[in-house]
Amino acid sequence: MYSLSLDERRKEITSHGTFDFPVAVYENRVGKSSLKAISWHWHEELQFCYVTEGTVSFFLNGKVFPVKKGDGIFINSEVLHTAKDADDSDGAYVCVDFHPRMIASFPNSVFERKYVSPVLKSKGMEYVLLARSKESHKEILTRLENVRRIFESKADGYEFDLCCELYMIWKNMTADFRGFYAAKGEEPENDVVNRRLREMIMYIREHYQEKIRLDEIAQHLHLSPHECCRFFRKNMHCTIFDYISEYRLTRSMELLDDTSMSVTQIAYETGFGSSSYYIEKFRRKTGMTPAKYRHRNDAGH
């Protein structure tokens, strides 16, 4: 399971590869077998995902996209997103993340001007669903599998082979969708949605240790409480307070994993207010107490 580190804006700061070779390939699991939720986040890297087990629901732009085994999705740079299990079933997917400069070559190159910048700037290409039933998509998905194999092999000179695959993936995708991103390049409402969601999530992240009131969040965003709730639920597919509880539980798991703080200390540190309420919420989510979770993880190390 890939571990996300996020800054105060929900931007992912986990290193994707290295500065001189900014590529990362990893697997994420969702569902009951994975107790930790994948937080809403965004990153500068371009991301391709393909599902290897079950069905995975990807959330972005106020929509939910169930992606079944064998299919995938492209998520553009700086698009807020997350992934969860579909229908309470376990799922797994592989991510191929790489910085745009991997295929842009150098500033103002023909690659950047003609093939990379138009996609980065296109509001109509914040995501692309990849279906194996479509021939051009099938080639992209097959090449993504090649990228994983090459990346994991680390054979002598693997960087050349991996870059060749990335270039061909990008060539196929931009050829298939060039008309699409040219035609749908102006959708400013998506910018408003993404900006507002980031502000809401940032506010929750900054204040989750405190008692958060709906009117405070609404006032911060210059919205009425009703509109604040409606907007959040429409785009995040959960209530504000469900999200706050989920975020607090995720933070508490990190503290259980990485510190020796007591369960009571963690309950107050993460904004639950009492250890009994925290234990109840934790058990509902994971089927075990925080103490059992910590013991199980300690035993696994």
Q: What is the pLDDT of residues 42-84, one digit of tens each?
A: 889 999 999 999 999 999 978 899 999 999 999 999 899 999 9
Q: Tell me, what amino acid is at 140?
A: I
Asked if residue 193 belongs to a domain, the reply is no
The verdict on 108 and 145 lying in the same domain is yes
How many CB atoms are closer than 10 A to CB 160?
10
DSSP string, 112-159: IIIIIHHHHH-GGGSEEEE-TTSHHHHHHHHHHHHHHHHHHH--TTHH
The verdict on 224 and 154 lying in the same domain is no
**For residues 103 and 167, is the Cβ–Cβ distance under 8 A?**
yes
How many CB atoms are closer than 10 A to CB 222?
9
C-alpha distances (whole Å) from 48 to each of 161, 176, 216 are: 18, 16, 37
232 burial type by CB count under 10 A (0-12 exposed, 13-18 middle, 19+ buried) = buried
Average pLDDT over all residues of the chain: 88
How many CB atoms are closer than 10 A to CB 157?
7
The verdict on 172 and 295 lying in the same domain is no
The verdict on 42 and 158 lying in the same domain is yes
pLDDT higher for 115 or 12? 115
The verdict on 27 and 174 lying in the same domain is yes
Q: Tell me, what amino acid is at 271?
A: G
In this prediction, residue 224 carries a pLDDT of 96
Our count of domains for the chain comes to 2
Quote the domain boundaries for residue 222: 208-300
User: Which tokens in the block code for residue 102?
Assistant: 């991997």
Asked whether the predicted pLDDT for residue 17 surpasses 80, the reply is no
pLDDT band of 6, cuts 50, 70, 90: low
Distance CA(232)–CA(275), nearest Å, equals: 28
The verdict on 161 and 262 lying in the same domain is no
Whole-prediction pTM: 0.76
**For residues 150 and 165, is the Cβ–Cβ distance under 8 A?**
yes
- Quote the DSSP letter at residue 11: B
Give the phi and the psi of residue 214 in degrees, each rounded to 5: -60, -40
The verdict on 65 and 114 lying in the same domain is yes
The verdict on 34 and 102 lying in the same domain is yes
